[in-house]
Amino acid sequence: MPRNQPATRPPIAVIGGAGHVGLPLALTFANEGHPTLIYDIDGPKIERILAGHMPFREEGGQEALSQALASGLLRASVSPEGLRDCEFLVLVVGTPVDEHLNPTFNAIHRALEGCLPYLVDGQILILRSTVFPGISAHIRRFLAERGLQIEVAFCPERVAQGFSLREFRELPQIISAFDEQILSRVRRLFEGFSAEILELPPMEAELAKLMTNAWRYLQFAAVNQFYMIAAQSGLDFQRILHACRHRYPRMAGMPGPGLAAGPCLVKDTMQLAAFSQNSFALGHGAMLINEGLPAFLIEQAARQTDLGDKTVGILGMAFKAGSDDPRDSLSYKMRKLLTLRAARVLCTDPYIQDGRTVSIQQVLEECQVLFVGTPHPEYRSLRPRPGTVVVDVWNCLGETQEIGPSATADEKDGPE
């Protein structure tokens, strides 16, 4: 329920608001009492939202959507016309990297160009997705050059996908703006539900977000490199990892090995590298390690058995456990590599049916080699057929594996 606030709260539009970043935020605003518009060009997702169905997995999402629709405060549309009625505009379109790993601004420019006829002076545009340092100032100039008096703020999302609704209220929110008055208005907006507010200048806020994701990516690269070193020597990395961390607080934050994937980590690390004029050697090294892990695992399996006459299975295609999001999942890279080495490749995922996945039963029955691509909780009780070669960097299957670590699953803290 909304906290005790004035009866009239400023209306908000979330541009690109039907996705994993925008929708949980829109639901939070609506359930705090703000008239909220979701604007997104993805018609099928908008239809699902209006019909009361969450389009993806999100803890507490279905309940929050039902509450927001029942209150009448949440609207959703494929048309930008309603933007002119909103005081705050939250843009969740970020700056991805191109095929050369350089940031590209085309997506954010296209999104704004489509909205320009419906924007009005006095609005505040909040950039929510990760952006290249300096983009907030660039967008402020972009709008001014088109005759619009719209102020810009950068308030990055910092939550784990699938747990946004809870973490919005538990984690500090970084806010930034170019004007103290605008910063004050943005602060009041997020104070409605944020546990704590941290204020930074815009470029420092942009770097804080990039550095947060790059740090996670570096951590995963370090432990993945350690895993490779141990595996190449035929040693049990999970026993080593347990010894490193057990009742030793200085290693408590060491994650477990795994496929470091998803739509943020490598992209944001490469944006930070580009911002540093490609002097971020640690970032480039981390990319080589993490992106090279699928090939390393395949080579480890090939040393144990001839893949050329085998049916090989991949368990899990989402980019992290418990997710239905396949974006930038390294399981797909693994599948491409395996098609060049194996006689046949089958893939399965309890949350993703994309026309190329099959049932878990078929994978277990027909495959002589199994790779755990995503450590979904549903896999922890699996028992592959005797003689199956199992490659499980996550240690999701525990002692059933024949290649790689062999500790208990509850010791795992791998990449998200």
How far, in Å, CA of 232 to CA of 401, rounded?
Answer: 17
- Mean pLDDT across the stretch 60-77? 98
Average pLDDT, the chain: 92
pLDDT above 50: residue 383: yes
CB 321 within 8 A of CB 350: no
Parallel, antiparallel, or unpaired for β 12-15 and 197-199? Answer: unpaired
The DSSP code sequence of 176-192 is: -BSSHHHHHHHHHHHHT
**97: DSSP letter:** B
pLDDT above 50: residue 6: no
Alpha-carbon distances of 379 from 204, 354, 400, rounded to whole Å: 41, 19, 11
pLDDT above 70: residue 359: yes
**55: DSSP letter:** S
pLDDT band, residue 102 (cuts 50/70/90): confident
Q: Is the dihedral of CA 279, 254, 161, 176 positive or negative?
A: negative
- Mean pLDDT across the stretch 141-165? 96
Q: Can you list the domains of the chain with their CATH numbers?
A: 12-200 (3.40.50.720), 235-411 (3.40.50.720)
Share of the chain above pLDDT 70, in %: 94
Cβ neighbours of 203 (radius 10 Å) = 16
How far, in Å, CA of 264 to CA of 346, rounded?
Answer: 27
Instruction: Quick: pLDDT tens for 289-298.
Output: 999 999 999 9
pLDDT band, residue 412 (cuts 50/70/90): very low
- Mean pLDDT across the stretch 269-278? 94
Residues sharing a CB contact under 8 Å with residue 216, sequence separation 6 or more, in sequence order:
265, 415, 416
- For the ranges 160-164, 330-334, 396-400, the lowest mean pLDDT is seen at 396-400
What's the confidence (pLDDT) of residue 103? 82
pLDDT above 80: residue 5: no
How far, in Å, CA of 202 to CA of 335, rounded?
Answer: 40
From the list 13, 70, 22, 71, the residue with the least C-alpha distance to 45 is 22
What's the confidence (pLDDT) of residue 399? 52
pLDDT above 50: residue 95: yes
pLDDT above 70: residue 303: yes
- Ranges assigned E (strand) in 5-114: 12-15, 36-39, 74-77, 88-91
- Mean pLDDT across the stretch 139-157? 97
What's the confidence (pLDDT) of residue 407? 32
How far, in Å, CA of 271 to CA of 274, rounded?
Answer: 5
pTM of the model: 0.91
pLDDT above 90: residue 249: yes
Residues sharing a CB contact under 8 Å with residue 272, sequence separation 6 or more, in sequence order:
207, 210, 211, 214, 280, 283
Q: In what order do the strands lie in the sheet with 389-391?
A: 344-348, 311-315, 369-372, 389-391
What's the confidence (pLDDT) of residue 339? 97
- Mean pLDDT across the stretch 97-119? 89
In this predicted model, which residue has the larger pLDDT, 371 or 413? 371
pLDDT above 90: residue 23: yes
What's the confidence (pLDDT) of residue 7? 43
Alpha helix (H) residue ranges in 83-129: 106-115
